């Protein structure tokens, strides 16, 4: 029998605390062990109740959400989901929260006092259950600032290797994992990189900027009917599937589809990207499935293997949540699991083949 997940709710709105408490208390497998109106009270109650998951607002008096998160990760490390309205919040704050140790971010619908929050009950409850399995030690390691080494990995110059592509998929824990990988790759990488990160549309631009800021491959949000060129990385925007077609020796056409329904409950979907890229690149494609919840990427990985491409996954030890990688391993479509710190080397080896 599955153990009950203990939840601490932190929000400065009394209305939100009551609604969230009532919502989650009625969910099977969840138990609300307390509520707090500000960061100071949250720290005290976290130490007293040792929750499995903290649902944390950003905008609060006395101590805001980021300051509270910082103290929680230092004094009472746990899994934190940021649940906050984005109407008055800097768009870069969610990614900053993930960098500081938050596991996931959920945007409140309709503002700080969200009367529509009950419509998101199933999503919030499912997210809490999923992140309750996140590894605390991996969260702690991810909080260490990235060291941007000037001596980066660099593929050997090889003639006739052809136009190659790397397609990466990630969900929970992905932003930090992708930042690490990009920070170890050269700026002028001799390949095109496509990224599917399960992320809300409003965060796509800031996420792409963060990846670009680590001075690895040039990174931008993918745009419709534009050419993907060697030496660049493209992030699928939230709310649209990214497809690749019309490959030439030096470029490929990117298409965005916002009319197609979610695949495996997500949009963008790694399955969609992988399947189209496998048709386009064949054996010149390396697909990488990183940390995250769910099974997105498995069907696409089958297409990659069938077309002669390669598929590797992040290993269980270094994955924040070993959901997507495990699904690929269980389906027999992954060649092997690789620790996060070895994935950049694996990419370079593929480019040298």
Looking up tokens 């030496």 gives: 231
Q: How far apart are CA 229 and CA 250, in angstroms?
A: 7
Question: For the whole prediction, is pTM greater than 0.85?
Answer: yes
pLDDT of residue 2: 55
Active site residue 171: yes
d(CA 240, CA 178): 20
Burial grade of 288 (CB within 10 A; 0-12, 13-18, 19 or more): buried
Which domains are assigned to the chain?
Answer: 5-142 (3.40.50.2300), 165-352 (3.40.50.180)
59/245 Cα distance (integer angstroms): 44
Catalytic residue among 171, 204, 269, 278: 171
Spatial neighbors of 44 by CB under 8 A, at least 6 apart, are: 36
- Catalytic, 22? Answer no
Position of tokens 């992954």?
A: 334
Residue in 38, 198, 276, 278 annotated catalytic:
198
Specify whether 296 is catalytic: yes
Catalytic-role residue among 38, 52, 57, 296: 296
| Residue 88: per-residue pLDDT | 58
CA distances from 8 to 3, 34, 105 (A): 16, 5, 15
Go through 26-36 and write b for each residue having 16 or more CB atoms within 10 A of its CB, e for each that does not.
Answer: ebeebebbbbb
Q: What is the pLDDT along the chain (353 residues), one digit of tens a residue?
A: 358 999 999 999 999 999 999 999 999 999 999 999 999 999 999 999 999 999 999 888 889 999 999 999 999 999 999 988 765 567 788 888 998 999 999 887 765 556 678 888 998 999 999 999 999 999 998 887 777 765 677 777 654 567 899 999 999 999 999 999 999 999 889 999 999 999 888 889 999 999 999 999 999 999 999 999 999 999 999 999 999 998 877 789 999 999 999 999 999 999 999 999 999 999 999 999 999 999 999 999 999 999 999 999 999 999 999 999 999 999 999 999 999 999 999 999 999 88
User: Rounded to whole angstroms, how far apart are CA atoms 279 and 239?
Assistant: 23
Secondary structure letter of residue 166 according to DSSP: E
pLDDT value of position 346: 96
Residue 142 is predicted with a pLDDT of 84
DSSP 202: G
């Amino acid at each position: 029998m599955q153990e009950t997940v203990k939840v601490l709710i932190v929000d400065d709105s009394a209305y939100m605390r009551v609604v969230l408490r009532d919502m989650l208390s009625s969910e099977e497998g969840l138990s609300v062990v307390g509520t707090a109106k500000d960061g100071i009270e949250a720290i005290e109650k976290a130490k007293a109740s040792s929750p499995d998951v903290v649902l944390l607002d950003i905008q609060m008096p006395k101590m805001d959400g980021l300051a509270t998160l910082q103290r929680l990760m230092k004094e009472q490390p746990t899994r934190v989901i940021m649940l906050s309205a984005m109407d008055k919040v800097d768009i870069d704050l969610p990614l900053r929260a993930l960098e500081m140790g938050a596991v996931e971010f959920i945007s409140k619908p309709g503002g700080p006092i969200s009367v529509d929050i009950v419509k998101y009950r199933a999503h919030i409850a499912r997210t809490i259950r999923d992140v309750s399995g996140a590894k605390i030690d991996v969260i702690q390691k991810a909080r260490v600032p990235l060291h941007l080494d000037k001596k980066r990995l660099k593929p050997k110059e090889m003639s006739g290797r052809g136009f190659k592509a790397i397609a990466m998929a990630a969900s929970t824990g992905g932003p930090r994992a992708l930042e690490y990988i990009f920070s170890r790759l050269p700026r002028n990488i001799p390949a095109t990189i496509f990224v599917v990160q399960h992320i809300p549309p409003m965060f796509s631009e800031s996420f792409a900027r963060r990846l670009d800021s680590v001075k690895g491959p040039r990174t931008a949000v993918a745009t419709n009917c534009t050419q993907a060129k060697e030496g660049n990385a493209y992030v699928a925007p939230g709310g649209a599937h990214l497809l690749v077609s019309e490959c030439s020796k030096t470029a490929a056409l990117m298409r965005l589809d916002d009319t197609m329904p979610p695949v495996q409950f997500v949009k963008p979907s790694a399955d969609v990207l992988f399947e189209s890229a496998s048709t386009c690149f064949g054996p010149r494609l390396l697909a990488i499935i990183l940390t995250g919840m769910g099974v997105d990427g498995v069907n696409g990985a089958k297409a990659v293997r069938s077309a002669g491409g390669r598929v590797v996954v992040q290993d269980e030890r270094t994955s924040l949540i070993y959901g997507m990688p495990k699904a690929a391993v269980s389906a027999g479509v992954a060649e092997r699991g690789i620790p996060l710190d070895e994935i950049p080397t694996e990419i370079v080896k593929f480019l040298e083949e």
